[in-house]
Structure 1
Amino acid sequence: MRYRFCLPLLLAGLFSSAQADEGQWFVRPYVGYSLMSDQTGQGADLGQANGAVSVDLDGGFAAGLGLGYRYNANWAVELAWEYRSNDSTTTLASGERFDEGNFASNLFFLNGFYFFDQGQKWVPYLGAGISWAQEVDLDLEQDGIERSFSGDGEFGYQAFAGIEYRFSPTWSLQGEVRYGALSGLTLEGEQEAGRIEDIDYHTTTFQIALRYAF
């Protein structure tokens, strides 16, 4: 529980120190193509469906918004929100199959960036971040039947690499590849309808972002 209070305190420290130094704030909306690895979990309290749960995942989309501070030519920090959804086919241990579901999330990130800035228009960068799950939701749908399992409050991480093209001192376009991971999740069924345990949420994203500095 104490980790849930550490993140706001860390953010407050980072942004308050930013105000004391020279630098530049920025806002960064982004959209991307989402890939997720297929997952296997364990169904519990699901009656005859107890046992292995297989989730096959298709491509999807991600969209988000970041607010950050560029300390100098090389270093920046960002707080970001992201929504992601991938279509899913889920098979329970009973053999029951749901072909029309989705695996989705609302995540918050605290990211750090390092820019290899040499004063050029094209600037490569690397970064990493801590993620916090406001919600991860697995919906199972088939022929009008829907079951939903969700979890929250888990921490994970991400790493990314990208390149930035600067149109002007205030506007730039970024292309980025990201890998993120939340592991060992427990998703609780609605109306206490069992749960899915030990399932992962691993993502790869190819995205573009528009960055405005102010």
Structure 2
Amino acid sequence: MFYRTLAVVAALFAFGNSAIAQTADKEGGLYAKVYGGSSTLSNTDLQIGGTRTKGKFGGGALAGGAIGYDYAGPWRSELEYTYRSSSLNSLGGVAASNSDYASTSIMVNGLYTFNEAGSFKPYVGLGFGLTREVDFDLNAGPTANRGQYSRASMFAVQGIAGVEYEFAEDWKGFGELRTFSVNSPSLRGGGRTLKADYRTTDIVIGIARKF
């Protein structure tokens, strides 16, 4: 899944590079960006069939890309594609391994930038969209409950706070803190149902190019 995500990110960036640059000017227009970082999944209760237990998660990662439009003012909008994954550390207090909870999402973001005239430009944003897939590879706990659980097309929301810096003409670096949430997804696999909240805190760094 991670390599498919990288392929989508590369396609997004290539599309932005070939977009109609003549419609953009120095103050606004089209841009593309790529990013990566850490994704920390909140500990949550897991319900597998009639069994309820506690899942604790460790570090994770994310990668993504976006195509956006700057409206020559404080407002921007973006279409993004992002992959997130976090490993399961323990299940019901027992150490777990080779298990992870992951998602891919397509989001539409609205961003508002402060201090437009400054070198460092802080911004905030809100995004809404759908998951392409939420996937739990469970290889811990009772053998009967192990397996792959997944579901597509669930509503997702995220909040964004970041800062960007233009380090060369038409190029910017940025860092962000994000929260991302899919509320209590009900996943299916092997004739069983798994329910577990999916809420992450993300630290993101990336680069953007204006066209």
TM range (shorter): 0.7 to 0.9
Query: Using the alignment, how far apart are the partners of 1:57 and 1:96 within structure 2?
Result: 12
TM-score (norm 1): 0.79
The equivalent of 2:125 in structure 1 is 127
| Structure 1 position 72, deviation (Å) | 1.5
Q: CA-to-partner distance for each residue in 1:23-67, whole Å, 9 max, x for gaps?
A: 3101010001111111113222xxxxx320322100110000000
Q: What are the within-5 Å matches in structure 2 for residues 134-145 of structure 1?
A: 134-141=132-139
Find the residue that maps to 1:187 and give its secondary structure.
Answer: strand
Q: CA-to-partner distance for each residue in 1:117-160, whole Å, 9 max, x for gaps?
A: 33221111111100311111111125xx7511111111021111
The equivalent of 1:9 in structure 2 is none
Letter in 2 for 1:211: A
The equivalent of 1:61 in structure 2 is 61
Letter in 1 for 2:105: L
Unaligned runs of 5+ residues in structure 1 are 1-18, 45-49
Structure 1 residues 72 and 98, CA, compared in 2 at 3 Å: closer, same or farther? same
| Structure 1 position 90, deviation (Å) | 5.3
Asked if the contact 2:57–2:86 (Cα under 8 Å) also holds between the matched residues in 1, the reply is yes
The equivalent of 2:188 in structure 1 is 188
Q: What are the within-5 Å matches in structure 2 for residues 154-165 of structure 1?
A: 154-165=154-165
Find the residue that maps to 1:184 and give its secondary structure.
Answer: coil
Give the CA RMSD over aligned residues: 2.4
Q: What are the within-5 Å matches in structure 2 for residues 174-185 of structure 1?
A: 174-185=174-185
Find the residue that maps to 2:137 and give its secondary structure.
Answer: strand
Unaligned runs of 5+ residues in structure 2 are 1-21
Q: Percent identity?
A: 30
Query: Using the alignment, how far apart are the partners of 2:116 and 2:54 within structure 1?
Result: 48
Structure 1 residues 72 and 117, CA, compared in 2 at 3 Å: closer, same or farther? farther
Letter in 2 for 1:102: D
TM-score (norm 2): 0.80
Q: CA-to-partner distance for each residue in 1:185-214, whole Å, 9 max, x for gaps?
A: 10101x32x1113x2100101110101000
Letter in 1 for 2:166: R
Asked if the contact 2:24–2:30 (Cα under 8 Å) also holds between the matched residues in 1, the reply is no
Letter in 1 for 2:51: G
The equivalent of 1:42 in structure 2 is 47
1:116 aligned to which of 105, 114, 117? 114
Query: Using the alignment, how far apart are the partners of 1:20 and 1:172 within structure 2?
Result: 19
Asked whether 1:51 is paired with 2:51, we answer yes
The equivalent of 2:199 in structure 1 is 202
Letter in 2 for 1:138: F
Query: Using the alignment, how far apart are the partners of 1:21 and 1:58 within structure 2?
Result: 43
Letter in 1 for 2:208: R
Query: Using the alignment, how far apart are the partners of 2:125 and 2:116 within structure 1?
Result: 18
